[in-house]
Structure 1
Amino acid sequence: MLATGTAAALLAPIVASAHSLEDVQEDLFEKEKYFQTKDEPAPDFALQEADGNPVRLQDLTEKVVVLHFLYAGCPDVCPLHAERIGDIQRLVNDTPMKDRVQFITITTDPERDTPEVLKPYGPIHGLDPTTNWMFLTSGPDRPEDTTRKLAEEFGHGFTVTDDGLQIHSVVTHIIDQKGQWVANFHGLGFEPTNLVLFINGLTNANVPHKEPEAPSLWSRMRSML
C-alpha cells in the first residue's frame, strides 16, 4: 500500500488549485503509459449492493465514478487491484473531492460472491464502505452472467478454468458526471496520484473559475490611508 499520508500532503495544494482537463490529459500522455482516453457513453447497469439496495449508473450522475471488476475468490491480481483502489480512495477522501467521487467494485462471480462474502471484502482490502465505495452484484432476480456481460461491454475478456478461476484483464474505468466513459488506467503499474489528478480535472471541468478582479481605484486609495 501507499504511504497515503505523505502522498495526500503532496497532493493537497495541487488538487486545491484548478487544472483544466485538457492540461491534465496532456500531462498524463507524457507521464503515464498506462493511461487511455475514451469518449463514449458508459455501459448502463442496474445492480445491487450486498444488503439488496438497488444501484443504477444513472443514479450517480454529477459524480465521477471509479469502477473496476473482480471476484472475491481470485487468489492473485484481484486483491492487489482492490488494495490499489483503496489507496486511491484514501487519497481522494483527503481532499475536497470526497463527496464528488463514487468508487464501485463489481463482482464477476455473483454465484459465489454472496452478501456474506461481499460485506467484509472491502475493509479487508482497505476500502471504506461507510463513505464512497460499494461492492455490487447482479442480485437473485438476474442471470448469473449479468455482471460478466457488463464487464465484456467495458472491454474485458474472460477465460474460466476447470477449477473456476477467471482469467481476465485488469482495468480501472473512469466515468464522468454525465455518464460518459472517459478513461481507462490499465493494469496495476500506473501511478495512483496520476489517477487522482485526472479525477481532479474532471471535478473541475464544469466549475466556472473567475480570475480575481483588479482592485478599484477607491479600494487602492483606502488601503493607503
Structure 2
Amino acid sequence: MRTIFRLIAALLSAATPALANHPGENLDQVMAATEAAFEPTPTRSVPVLNARSGPGTAVALDELKGKIVVVSFVPRGCGAPCTAQQEQLGQALGSLNAGPMREMVEFVSVSDSPLAVTGPADNWTYAWAGGGQTAQTLAAAFAAQSERQDETPMIHLLDRGGRQVGIFHGSEFLPLNLVLYLNGLTNAHPQPEPGVFERLFGWLP
C-alpha cells in the first residue's frame, strides 16, 4: 500500500506544472474529458451547512475559507453506494496527505447521527446534520445546480473562497483524478470577494 501511495505522490508531483497552467474553466475541461464522474458546476456560494462534529462543536464552512473543501453526505439508508464512495474518498485522502496538500485541503462527511469514531486524519471531519435538517435535505440543497441529479451520492468541491466549483458523482471515479483536481484548485488564483456593487446587482453567484 505504501508503494502505491508513493507512486501516486510521484505522479501528482509530475502533473502539478501541467495543472497549474490550467486553472478555472480549463481545469474543468481537462478533468471532464478525463473523468466521467466529474461534473463542473457554475461557481456559486454554497447553502448553510447545519452540522456538528461533537457536542457544542459546529462545522462552519466559512471558517474553512482559504482551504479547498471536499463535502460529502451519507444519508440514512444510503447503504452500499455511500460506503463505496467514502472508501474512495479515503484512498484519495491517503495519497493527498502523502504530499504538501495536506494543509491545504479539508474533507467533511455529513451523516444523520453522531459517529463513534473520528476521521482517519486530522483534515477529515465526520459530522452529523442538525438544525432540524437531515443529511438528505442538506445533500439536496448542495446538489441543486447539478444537471445529473440521478447520479448519487455526490462529492461537492469548494474552492478557497468557499464557492462550489465541481461535483464528483458516485464511487466509480479514480481517486487519483480527484487528487489531481484538488491540486489544480490549490494552484488556481482565488477569486476576489464581490464588492458592494456586485452584491447589490447580483453579478456574482
1:37 and 1:75, CA in 2 relative to 1: closer, same or farther beyond 3 A? closer
1:136 aligned to which of 117, 122, 127? 127
Partner of 1:197: 180
State the AA in 2 paired with 1:134: T
Partner of 1:217: none
Q: Does the 8 Å contact 1:40/1:180 carry over to 2?
A: yes
Counting aligned pairs with the same residue, the percent is 32
Q: Using the TM superposition, give the Cα deviation of residue 51 of structure 1 relative to its aligned residue in structure 2, in angstroms.
A: 4.5
Unmatched tracts of structure 1, length 5 or more:
157-167, 208-225
Q: Does the 8 Å contact 1:20/1:204 carry over to 2?
A: no
Partner of 1:9: 10
Partner of 2:68: 64
Q: Using the TM superposition, give the Cα deviation of residue 8 of structure 1 relative to its aligned residue in structure 2, in angstroms.
A: 2.2
Q: TM-score, normalised by structure 1?
A: 0.70
Q: Secondary structure of the residue that 1:30 maps to in structure 2?
A: helix
1:70 and 1:183, CA in 2 relative to 1: closer, same or farther beyond 3 A? same
**What do you get for the CA RMSD once the two structures are aligned?**
2.7
Q: Secondary structure of the residue that 1:185 maps to in structure 2?
A: strand
State the AA in 1 paired with 2:140: E
Describe the superposition over 1:158-206 as per-residue Cα deviations: whole angstroms up to 9, x where unpaired. Answer: xxxxxxxxxx921111011111100001111111111111111111112
Q: Using the TM superposition, give the Cα deviation of residue 49 of structure 1 relative to its aligned residue in structure 2, in angstroms.
A: 0.4
Q: Does the 8 Å contact 1:44/1:58 carry over to 2?
A: no
Q: Secondary structure of the residue that 1:49 maps to in structure 2?
A: strand
| Pairing 1:120–2:117 present | yes
Q: Does the 8 Å contact 1:101/1:132 carry over to 2?
A: yes
Q: Using the TM superposition, give the Cα deviation of residue 37 of structure 1 relative to its aligned residue in structure 2, in angstroms.
A: 0.7
| Pairing 1:173–2:164 present | no
Aligned length: 181
Alignment of 1:35-184 (within 5 A): 35-38=38-41, 39-71=43-75, 75-107=79-111, 109=112, 113-114=113-114, 118-120=115-117, 122=119, 127-128=120-121, 131-139=122-130, 142-143=131-132, 145-155=133-143, 169-184=152-167
1:48 and 1:13, CA in 2 relative to 1: closer, same or farther beyond 3 A? same
Q: Secondary structure of the residue that 2:100 maps to in structure 1?
A: coil
Partner of 2:37: 34
Q: TM-score, normalised by structure 2?
A: 0.77
Unmatched tracts of structure 2, length 5 or more:
145-150, 191-205
Q: Using the TM superposition, give the Cα deviation of residue 7 of structure 1 relative to its aligned residue in structure 2, in angstroms.
A: 1.9
Q: Using the TM superposition, give the Cα deviation of residue 16 of structure 1 relative to its aligned residue in structure 2, in angstroms.
A: 6.6
1:106 and 1:55, CA in 2 relative to 1: closer, same or farther beyond 3 A? same
1:8 and 1:47, CA in 2 relative to 1: closer, same or farther beyond 3 A? same
Describe the superposition over 1:8-33 as per-residue Cα deviations: whole angstroms up to 9, x where unpaired. Answer: 23223323773432443222122111
Q: Using the TM superposition, give the Cα deviation of residue 73 of structure 1 relative to its aligned residue in structure 2, in angstroms.
A: 6.8
